[in-house]
Each structure stands twice: as structure tokens, then as C-alpha cells.
């Protein structure tokens, strides 16, 4: 009988991706099957994120809740992975004796080994090392292709933006080889994937080799566009500083590359951007957008924003609101600045009050939502090429698709044959978080 695995994931897309890989490797090597009930589990994994929240306390609270399950079921194993584990691994081992395994984002492929060892020696195991790229070579080949599949092309980040813990928790940038990535995409495409979403913290600095020479994201995208069955290509996250000309050119040369990009600006104030160590100013950012729009006038841009960075004045915040008006960003993410341990910004006084931070976040989010909803309303009456992802979450009698700008569209269909295909949908209603339409093939 398969053993049961329960995984709880905090945080980003990258963590979702890593959790999927954990499930896969444990299924492959230890015959674990996912369960949605923590009470049924033989192994519980918490994949943690330390980018923003008061992450550490959240982890100890969660462990406390699982302790009660373990009291009744002593054979239950608890494993803590992800960025909090990477930064606080030793502390977790000391403070939470019920934890059996601690592993970092770069050592998740060693989970089966750590699990076996813990059972054999009956002693908690920890591995939070950064073995270069070993993680990728240990992954079993994809066994199914979702209509849209994430493929990680690099790990870590060297940018050291002053507010960010990622370089500390995920280590330095290492890229996979182009051959390795293309091979994975070919397998996914044969199994039904139509859209590839390349993932990494800083994908435009991708430096994997191709035929022994250093390649680029642009070259990887061009090669991907040629793979049979791949109809759409996306990538996140790209840093405005390294969005090189060959990548801009890819919008002219690769029709599969979608006319939508997530390009985090963080702030509209040049003074704050400098303190954030982002390495671009608003002028450079706006010029980049112009360059891309020259090639693709219909291009849409989304962003991440941080409000309340140390020293952010009303004037700085207004500059952020102004850039939102200039670019008219599509659906974006915005966050309240939170001081992260060991980051350069943690040396600066976190001097914007919680109240001011919250007010600024509300103002920014209201405006971002208004603009995004405006784009949704503009789509009403048009026909959009959409990729059918699966069943609608709200109404299983309907299917769910995604537009090029990544909006969810629910529509009526007979059966499930269209899942994984690109279809034309006439949009006839815009709701705050989705669209409704009818097939128009
Ligand atoms: N690699 C990506 C970002 C990774 S973190 C990039 O280049 O932008 C995702 C987002 O979390 C960031 O874009 C930023 O907006 C937000 N973030 C990161 N650290 C933060 C902090 N200390 N406080 C608030 N938001 C933060
Ligand atoms: Fe973080 Fe900046 Fe890298 S936001 S992930 S240090 S590009």
C-alpha cells in the first residue's frame, strides 16, 4: 500500500514548483501518494517561504499544530523545507524536537535519502547545503504534461536587492544547460503541454550552456518556439536591469512568446530604487517598455511593488502612483515592506509607520485593481485566443481557459476534449477576478 504524503506550501510560484517536485520524487523512490488530509499522512512536509511574512513564527505555530497529530500517531514524520529551513535550520532542530527532517530548496532531491536515513538511525536529519544543480539531475522525467507546465531553468539569485532574502536562502545563480531544458520541454510537449512557463528568480540572467558555449534566455526561447506542440512561452521573473536587446528581439522573432510580461519595478521613485539597489531608474524602465511596445504594441505589463521601504516619503510614494498611471500596469502584486534578517536594508531604520504603510498599500492596490478591471472590461465583445486549462473551479460543468494576458475565462463546453488546446472565445462578461465567454471556433 502506498504511504501517504501531505504537503503544505507557503509563498511563491517557485515553492509551488518545488513542492510538486518533492511529491514526484517521493512517489518515484518511496511510493508516496499525495493526500489532502494531514490526519491521514505518514509524512508531512512544510515548504516554507521567508520573503515577506513573519515567516519563522508561522513555521513554529504550524509545527505546534502537527505535534498534536504526532502525539496520537508516533510514526508520523515531519519535514521542514524551503527558505526558512535554509536560514533557520539549526534553530528548528533545537526548538522543535518533533521535526524529523530539515532540508533546503537546493537539497530537496535528497528527501528520499534523508527519509530512509532518519528511519534507519532514528535520529533527525538535516541537509541545507547548496549542491550546484544536483537537484535537476536527480528529478525523474515528467510523467504527464499539464496544458501549461512550469520548467525551472535556473536557481538562486546574485542581485542582492537590498530588501530581499532570496540570495541568502537560495544561494547564487546556477543555470541548467539548454540541452537539458529543451529535452524536458520536448517530453512535456509529447505528453500534451502546449504552454511552457520558464521559472527562475532572475531569468534574464540565464547563462546555461548550449553546445558548450554560454547561451541566453533569448536563445532558449527561440529554440523552444521550434519545438512541435509548444504554442505559448512565458517566463518569470525578469529583472528590468538585464532585459537585454536580444530578449527584446525575441518578441519579433518568436510568435509563441506571449504579449505579456511580468517586469517588477518595485517603486516609481528613483531615490528609493537606488536604496533598493535595483540598478535601474524609472527612465530606463520606461524606455525598455517603449522598446518592447514598438515590436508588440498590444504588449501588457504586470509588476511587483513594495510600499513603505525605509525612508519612503509621501513624495516617493506619489512617484509610484505616477508610474502606475504612465505604464497602466495590468494585474500586479503589491506588498508592504518587511524587514528581512541579514539583508542590507535591515541595517536601515524601518521608519514608515504600519498605518502609513497600510494606507499606501490600499491606495496603490485600489488603483492597480481599477486599471486591471478596465483592461478586463475592454476585452468584453472581443474574441481571445485562450488555452484550455481544465475544469472551471466554480462550476465543474464549465471549462476554464487563460487569455494571453493570463486572465481566467470560464466557458460552457461539451465534455473535456478541449483541455490542453488553444481555442477562440468570445468574451461577454468581465468579473473582478475572471471573465466569461462562449466558444467561437
Ligand atoms: N526575483 C524577483 C522577485 C522575488 S521576490 C524579482 O526580481 O523581482 C517577489 C517579490 O516579493 C518581489 O518582487 C518584491 O516585490 C517582494 N518582496 C521581496 N522582499 C520583500 C520584502 N522584504 N518586503 C516586502 N516585499 C518583498
Ligand atoms: Fe530578490 Fe532582487 Fe533577486 S528581488 S530574487 S534579490 S532580483
Strand partners, 254: none
Residue with cell 511510493: 31
Which ligand number lies closest to the CA of residue 201?
1
The set of residues, in sequence order, having a beta carbon less than 8 Å from that of 438 and lying 6+ positions away, is: 411, 412, 425, 426, 428
Substitution candidate for ligand 2 out of 50, 51, 161, 337 with most atoms within 8 A of CB: 161
Here the cell at position 210 is 548550449
Do the annotations mark residue 386 as ligand-binding?
A: no
Substitution candidate for ligand 2 out of 14, 162, 164, 169 with most atoms within 8 A of CB: 164
Here the cell at position 355 is 498605518
* 161 close to ligand 2 (CB < 6 Angstrom): yes
Q: Nearest CA to 148 among 181, 179, 203, 189?
A: 189
Residue with cell 500586479: 332
Distance, CA of 37 to CA of 210 (rounded, Å)? 44
Ligand 2 center to 366 CA (angstroms): 25
Ligand 1 center to 304 CA (angstroms): 7
Q: Where in the chain are the domains?
A: 3-127, 141-378, 380-439
Residue with cell 485566443: 385
* SS3 (DSSP) at 172: coil
pLDDT in tens, 170-198: 899 999 999 999 999 999 999 999 999 99
Distance, CA of 253 to CA of 233 (rounded, Å)? 13
CATH topology of domain 380-439: OB fold (Dihydrolipoamide Acetyltransferase, E2P) (2.40.50)
Here the cell at position 28 is 518515484
Residue with cell 513542492: 19
Q: Whose CA is nearest to atom 10 of ligand 1?
A: 304
Distance, CA of 280 to CA of 282 (rounded, Å)? 7
Distance, CA of 324 to CA of 341 (rounded, Å)? 30
Distance, CA of 48 to CA of 54 (rounded, Å)? 11
Ligand 1 center to 133 CA (angstroms): 23
Do the annotations mark residue 405 as ligand-binding?
A: no
Angle (CA) 308-314-320 rounded to 5° is 70
* 379 close to ligand 2 (CB < 6 Angstrom): no
Ligand 2 atom at minimal distance to the Cα of residue 278: 2
* SS3 (DSSP) at 24: helix
Which ligand number lies closest to the CA of residue 264?
1
Report the Cα–Cα distance between both ends of the chain, in Å, rounded. 46
CA distances from 209 to 137, 178, 250, 254, 281 (A): 15, 6, 18, 20, 31
pLDDT means over runs of 10, the chain (441 residues): 94 89 93 95 94 84 95 95 91 93 92 94 92 75 85 95 94 95 96 96 96 98 98 96 96 98 98 98 98 97 98 98 98 95 94 97 98 97 96 88 96 90 97 95 74
Q: Whose CA is nearest to atom 11 of ligand 1?
A: 51
Q: Are 387 and 195 in contact (CB under 8 A)?
A: yes
Q: Whose CA is nearest to atom 7 of ligand 2?
A: 159
Distance, CA of 321 to CA of 327 (rounded, Å)? 10
The set of residues, in sequence order, having a beta carbon less than 8 Å from that of 26 and lying 6+ positions away, is: 5, 32, 43, 111, 112, 115
| Beta strands, E only, 250-340 | 260-262, 300-302, 304-307, 333-336
With a Cβ cut-off of 6 Å, ligand 1 is lined by 51-52, 157, 163-164, 166, 201-202, 237, 239, 264, 266, 304, 306, 335, 337-338, 340
Substitution candidate for ligand 2 out of 105, 168, 202, 344 with most atoms within 8 A of CB: 202
Q: Whose CA is nearest to atom 2 of ligand 2?
A: 161
Here the contacts of 348-352 (C-beta below 8 Å, separation 24 or greater) are 348/162, 348/275, 348/310, 348/311, 349/310, 349/311, 350/310, 351/310, 351/311, 352/308, 352/309, 352/310, 352/311, 352/312
* 278 close to ligand 2 (CB < 6 Angstrom): no
Ligand 1 atom at minimal distance to the Cα of residue 202: 1
Q: Are 45 and 77 in contact (CB under 8 A)?
A: no
The set of residues, in sequence order, having a beta carbon less than 8 Å from that of 397 and lying 6+ positions away, is: 412
Q: Within 13 Å of residue 417, how many CA atoms lie on the same side as its CB? A: 3
Q: Are 4 and 38 in contact (CB under 8 A)?
A: no
DSSP 270: H
Q: Whose CA is nearest to atom 5 of ligand 1?
A: 51
CATH architecture of 141-378: Alpha-Beta Horseshoe (3.80)
Ligand 2 atom at minimal distance to the Cα of residue 160: 6
Ligand 2 center to 15 CA (angstroms): 15
* 416 close to ligand 2 (CB < 6 Angstrom): no
Q: Can you give the pLDDT at residue 20?
A: 92
Q: What is the CA radius of gyration of the chain?
A: 22
Ligand 2 center to 200 CA (angstroms): 10
* SS3 (DSSP) at 232: strand
Q: Nearest CA to 277 among 163, 414, 421, 420?
A: 163
- Domain 3-127 is in which class? alpha beta
* 167 close to ligand 2 (CB < 6 Angstrom): yes
Residue with cell 529554440: 223
Amino acid at each position: 500500500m502506498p504511504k501517504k504524503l501531505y504537503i503544505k506550501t507557503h509563498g511563491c510560484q517557485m515553492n509551488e514548483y518545488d513542492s510538486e517536485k518533492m511529491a514526484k520524487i517521493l512517489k518515484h523512490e518511496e511510493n508516496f501518494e499525495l493526500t489532502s488530509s494531514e490526519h491521514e499522512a505518514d509524512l508531512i512536509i512544510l515548504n516554507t517561504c521567508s520573503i515577506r511574512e513573519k515567516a519563522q513564527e508561522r513555521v513554529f505555530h504550524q509545527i505546534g499544530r502537527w505535534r498534536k497529530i504526532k502525539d496520537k500517531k508516533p510514526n508520523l514524520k515531519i519535514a521542514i523545507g524551503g527558505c526558512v529551513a535554509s536560514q533557520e535550520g539549526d534553530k528548528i532542530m533545537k526548538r522543535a524536537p518533533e521535526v524529523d527532517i530539515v532540508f533546503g530548496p537546493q537539497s530537496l532531491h535528497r528527501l528520499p535519502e534523508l527519509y530512509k536515513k532518519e528511519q534507519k538511525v532514528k535520529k533527525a536529519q538535516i541537509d541545507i547545503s547548496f549542491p550546484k544543480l544536483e537537484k535537476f539531475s536527480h528529478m525523474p522525467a515528467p510523467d504527464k504534461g499539464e496544458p501549461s507546465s512550469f520548467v525551472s531553468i535556473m536557481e538562486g539569485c546574485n542581485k542582492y536587492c537590498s530588501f530581499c532574502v532570496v540570495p541568502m536562502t537560495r544561494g547564487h545563480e546556477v543555470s541548467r544547460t539548454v540541452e537539458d531544458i529543451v529535452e524536458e520541454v520536448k517530453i512535456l510537449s509529447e505528453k500534451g503541454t502546449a504552454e511552457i512557463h520558464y521559472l527562475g528568480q532572475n531569468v534574464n540572467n540565464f547563462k546555461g550552456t548550449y553546445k558548450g558555449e554560454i547561451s541566453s534566455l533569448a536563445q532558449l526561447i527561440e529554440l523552444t518556439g521550434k519545438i512541435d506542440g509548444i504554442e505559448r512561452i512565458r517566463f518569470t521573473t525578469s529583472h528590468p536591469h538585464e532585459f537585454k536587446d536580444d530578449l527584446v528581439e525575441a518578441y519579433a522573432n518568436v510568435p509563441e512568446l506571449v504579449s505579456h510580461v511580468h517586469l517588477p519595478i518595485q517603486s516609481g521613485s528613483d531615490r528609493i530604487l537606488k536604496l533598493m539597489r535595483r540598478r535601474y531608474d524609472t527612465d530606463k524602465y520606461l524606455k525598455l517598455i517603449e522598446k518592447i511596445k514598438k515590436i508588440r504594441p498590444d504588449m501588457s505589463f504586470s509588476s511587483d511593488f513594495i510600499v513603505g521601504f525605509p525612508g519612503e516619503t509621501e513624495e516617493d510614494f506619489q512617484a509610484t502612483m505616477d508610474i502606475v498611471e504612465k505604464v497602466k500596469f495590468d494585474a500586479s502584486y503589491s506588498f508592504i515592506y518587511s524587514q528581512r534578517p541579514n539583508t542590507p536594508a535591515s541595517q536601515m531604520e524601518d521608519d514608515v509607520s504600519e498605518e502609513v504603510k497600510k494606507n499606501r498599500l490600499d491606495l496603490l492596490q485600489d488603483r492597480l485593481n481599477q486599471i486591471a478591471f478596465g483592461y478586463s472590461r475592454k476585452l468584453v465583445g472581443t474574441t481571445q485566443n485562450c488555452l484550455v486549462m481544465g475544469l472551471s473551479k466554480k462550476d465543474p460543468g464549465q471549462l476554464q481557459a487563460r487569455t494571453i494576458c493570463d486572465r481566467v475565462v470560464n466557458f460552457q463546453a461539451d465534455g473535456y476534449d478541449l483541455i490542453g488546446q488553444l481555442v477562440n472565445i468570445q468574451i461577454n462578461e468581465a468579473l473582478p477576478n475572471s471573465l466569461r465567454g462562449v466558444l467561437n471556433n
